[in-house]
């Protein structure tokens, strides 16, 4: 899932803060939006969610809200730090034919937030909408493992009844193209949530606004004050244990120093991100929490734009970037990556990837025809954020000093940036990915020709075939060998991307907050959080 942060001008943020953040000194103090301090968890999202349409969202900010107002068929368990699965809308699941046929037994005691009963066909409605070409979801490929799902998404099959999904009583039966042992993990993702088609049809693009949105999770959407705050309220119709805290108040304060000042003054309970430049001091505070996360920070190349349409240029740039210099500069526990799989994920290897070799990089540039002439200026784009800017400036300096390449930096607000990536990406662009499910496929599938999250313009049939082949394998070493081959194609031979580092999450948690979830998936299920 795309990881983002962005920054607003400080004066603008302060103006918002003064309007919406009154000082609160008593436990029963009233907050904005009619909330009580002793019944409200206050968290900083940092930016406006691009969308709350769970079939379309691709980013962590939107997911934070969606994962608290909705449940999927299956949820995550993080007992003793281990990533596992637990029942959600599905009570149990099983497979036959060596993981090719999956059956999910659904709960019967579930109601939507408007009191209407949850029906199995609403799962099919959600998956059909995800795969519908008109939805244009970047996550449609998640369900390509299902029989005929890809053909339906590409428009070559119009009859959805021929897609391998069937309702059998209160069960969902799924037929896959090939065996897939990790298929249940896909159903934890927000893109696969059930959908109320009647609500979508009634309200159109406004179906995710408060008063319109109907949900199944522990919380309901009460307020969406765009670019300011979101309020979630405990769902009295929730099928599970009621949320322990009545309200979630999520702000959109994008300047890190402002957020820290508000935390220190008792106006925020949770900071989900901390500025890397201040971590040395912030880590010493009792409110500090950290956790490794299954994440990847990388630079992509637009292989159709000069000068990065030249393989030798891409390879030279990749070999001239000292990743250890970047992580040392950030000083936030990040670990340099040579391969495409993050630290902590199975099949991660430090033996894949191009070496740091400036001499070889210069030779490659000469082979590309730039021995006696200046290489065209390279534009690097990133979404507005202090740390992304620091990384880009570091890469800019490295490429200028080592290869004589002039780099121009371009930054955009997150929502605008996502649109630019989809339509006209720069020769080099920043992106991050946090695991949607803890399997190498989630990271390598990202760069297939079928993935809407691949903004490089790069296509390699051999790479695609390897990723598809690995899906059906159950023997661990055989899968690892294939993923090693695929990584070599991606980052050594064709050099469509440059992996930079794997991250650590840094948070502040107020002492009055108990049970706040910190885990390697950065999944923030808030229903068990207690406010004291």
* pLDDT of res. 278: 87
Using CA atoms in the order 127, 2, 452, 151, what is the torsion angle rounded to 10 degrees?
-20
Nearest C-alpha neighbor of 190 from the set 126, 115, 235: 126
* pLDDT of res. 396: 98
Beta bridge partners of 87: 74
pLDDT band at 373 (very low <50, low <70, confident <90, very high): confident
User: Who wins on pLDDT, 250 or 78?
Assistant: 250
Domain 74-198 has CATH 3.90.76.10: yes
Convert the pLDDT of each residue in 344-363 to its tens digit: 887 788 889 999 999 999 99
Tell me the average pLDDT across 239-266: 95
Tell me the average pLDDT across 190-203: 98
Longest Cα–Cα distance of the chain, Å, equals 73
Tell me the average pLDDT across 69-89: 92
* pLDDT of res. 10: 38
**Distances from the Cα of 184 to the Cα of 110, 181, 358, angstroms:** 20, 8, 45
Strands 90-96 and 101-106: antiparallel
Tell me the average pLDDT across 269-290: 91
Beta bridge partners of 233: 220, 247
* pLDDT of res. 368: 95
Cβ atoms of 49 and 250 closer than 8 Å: no
Tell me the average pLDDT across 158-172: 97
Domain ranges in the chain are 10-70+217-275+506-531, 74-198, 295-502
The b-or-e profile of 252-274 (16+ CB within 10 A means b, else e) is bbbbbebbbebbeeebbbbbbbb
| CA distance linking residue 381 with residue 307, whole number of Å | 15
Cβ atoms of 317 and 365 closer than 8 Å: no
* pLDDT of res. 22: 47
DSSP structure string for 164-176: SEEEETTEEEEEB
| Secondary structure E strands in 384-437 | 407-412, 428-434
Tokens of 6: 């962005």
* pLDDT of res. 212: 98
* pLDDT of res. 1: 73
Least confident span in 192-196, 456-460, 474-478: 474-478
* pLDDT of res. 514: 97
| Secondary structure E strands in 235-319 | 247-251, 270-271, 288-292, 295-301
Among 3.10.105.10, 1.10.260.40, 3.40.50.300, 3.90.1150.10, what is the CATH number of 295-502? 3.10.105.10
> Can you give the length of the chain in residues?
532
* pLDDT of res. 386: 86
For helices 256-264 and 10-20, angle between their N-to-C axes, nearest 10 degrees:
30
For helices 311-320 and 386-403, angle between their N-to-C axes, nearest 10 degrees:
110
* pLDDT of res. 436: 86
- Rounded to 5°, angle at Cα 63 from 57 and 68: 135
Nearest C-alpha neighbor of 298 from the set 523, 110, 456: 456
pLDDT band at 3 (very low <50, low <70, confident <90, very high): low
Distance of CA 197 to the CA centre of its chain: 25
| CA distance linking residue 154 with residue 158, whole number of Å | 9
Nearest C-alpha neighbor of 195 from the set 265, 295, 134, 124: 124
Q: What percent of the chain has pLDDT over 70?
A: 95
pLDDT value at 14 more than 80: no
* pLDDT of res. 27: 52
| CA distance linking residue 352 with residue 365, whole number of Å | 22
Averaged pLDDT of the chain:
92
Q: Which residue has the tokens 């999450």?
A: 505
DSSP structure string for 364-382: HHIIIIISSSPPPPEEEEE
| CA distance linking residue 6 with residue 383, whole number of Å | 6
Q: Please report how many Cα atoms fall inside a 13 Å half-sphere around the Cα of residue 34, on the Cβ side.
A: 4
pLDDT value at 96 more than 70: yes
Question: Matching CATH topology for 74-198 and 295-502?
Answer: no
pLDDT value at 7 more than 80: no
Nearest C-alpha neighbor of 274 from the set 195, 424, 385, 177: 385
Least confident span in 117-131, 309-323, 433-447: 433-447
pLDDT band at 5 (very low <50, low <70, confident <90, very high): very low
Convert the pLDDT of each residue in 376-429 to its tens digit: 999 999 998 888 999 999 999 999 999 999 999 999 998 899 999 999 999 999
Cβ atoms of 59 and 414 closer than 8 Å: yes
pLDDT band at 86 (very low <50, low <70, confident <90, very high): very high
Least confident span in 18-22, 84-88, 381-385: 18-22
pLDDT band at 286 (very low <50, low <70, confident <90, very high): very high
Q: Please report how many Cα atoms fall inside a 13 Å half-sphere around the Cα of residue 138, on the Cβ side.
A: 17
Q: Verify cis geometry, omega within 30 degrees of 0, for the bond prior to 76.
A: no
Q: Which residue has the tokens 């927000």?
A: 190
Q: Verify cis geometry, omega within 30 degrees of 0, for the bond prior to 529.
A: no
pLDDT band at 474 (very low <50, low <70, confident <90, very high): confident
pLDDT value at 260 more than 50: yes
* pLDDT of res. 28: 60
Convert the pLDDT of each residue in 289-341 to its tens digit: 998 899 999 999 999 999 999 999 999 999 999 999 999 999 888 999 999 99
Tell me the average pLDDT across 234-238: 97
What's the pTM?
Answer: 0.80
* pLDDT of res. 16: 43
Tell me the average pLDDT across 192-199: 98
**Distances from the Cα of 246 to the Cα of 42, 306, 325, 501, angstroms:** 11, 54, 45, 38
Per CATH, the number for 10-70+217-275+506-531 is: 3.40.190.10
* pLDDT of res. 276: 77
């Amino acid at each position: 899932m795309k990881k983002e942060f962005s920054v607003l001008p400080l004066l603008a943020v302060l103006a918002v803060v003064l309007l919406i953040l009154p000082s609160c000194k008593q436990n029963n103090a009233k907050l904005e939006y009619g909330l009580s301090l002793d019944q409200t968890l206050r968290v900083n999202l940092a930016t406006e969610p691009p969308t709350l349409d769970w079939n379309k969202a691709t980013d962590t900010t939107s997911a934070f809200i969606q994962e608290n107002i909705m449940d999927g068929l299956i949820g995550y368990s993080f007992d003793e730090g281990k990533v596992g699965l637990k029942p959600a809308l599905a009570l149990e699941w099983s497979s036959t034919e060596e993981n090719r046929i999956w059956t999910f037994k659904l709960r019967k005691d579930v109601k939507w937030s408007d009191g209407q009963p949850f029906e199995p066909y609403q799962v099919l409605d959600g998956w059909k909408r995800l795969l519908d070409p008109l939805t244009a979801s970047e996550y449609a490929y998640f369900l390509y493992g299902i029989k005929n799902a890809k053909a339906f998404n590409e428009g070559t099959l119009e009859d959805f009844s021929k897609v391998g999904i069937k309702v059998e009583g209160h069960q969902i039966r799924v037929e896959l193209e090939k065996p897939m042992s990790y298929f249940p993990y896909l159903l934890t993702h927000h893109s696969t949530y059930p959908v109320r088609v009647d609500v979508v049809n009634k309200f159109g693009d406004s179906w995710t606004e408060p008063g319109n949105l109907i949900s199944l999770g522990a919380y309901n959407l009460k307020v969406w004050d765009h670019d300011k705050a979101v309020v979630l309220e405990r769902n009295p119709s929730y099928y599970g244990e009621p949320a322990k805290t009545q309200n979630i108040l999520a702000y959109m304060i994008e300047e890190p120093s402002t957020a820290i000042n508000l935390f220190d003054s008792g106006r925020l309970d949770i900071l989900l991100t901390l500025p890397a430049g201040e971590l040395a001091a912030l880590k010493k505070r009792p409110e500090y929490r950290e956790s490794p996360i299954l994440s990847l920070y990388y630079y992509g190349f637009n292989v159709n734009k000069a000068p990065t349409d030249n393989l030798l240029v891409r390879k030279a740039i990749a070999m001239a970037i000292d990743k250890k210099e970047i992580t040392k500069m950030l000083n936030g526990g990040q670990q340099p990556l040579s391969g495409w799989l993050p630290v902590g994920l199975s099949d991660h290897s430090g033996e894949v990837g191009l070496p740091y070799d400036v001499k070889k990089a210069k030779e490659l540039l000469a082979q590309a025809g730039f021995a006696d002439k200046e290489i065209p200026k390279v534009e690097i784009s990133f979404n507005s954020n202090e740390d992304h800017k620091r990384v880009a400036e570091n890469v800019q300096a490295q490429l200028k000093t080592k290869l004589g390449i002039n780099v121009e930096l371009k930054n955009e607000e997150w929502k605008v940036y996502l649109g630019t990536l989809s339509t006209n990406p720069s020769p080099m662009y920043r992106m991050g990915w946090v695991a949607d499910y803890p399997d190498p496929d989630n990271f390598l599938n990202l760069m297939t020709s079928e993935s809407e999250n691949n903004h490089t313009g790069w296509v390699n049939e051999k790479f695609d075939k390897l990723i598809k082949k690995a899906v059906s394998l159950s023997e661990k070493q055989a899968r690892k060998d294939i993923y090693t081959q695929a990584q070599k194609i991606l980052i050594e031979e064709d050099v469509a991307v440059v992996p930079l580092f794997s991250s650590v999450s840094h948070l502040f948690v107020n002492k009055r907050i108990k049970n706040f979830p910190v885990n390697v998936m950065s999944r923030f299920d808030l229903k068990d959080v207690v406010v004291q």
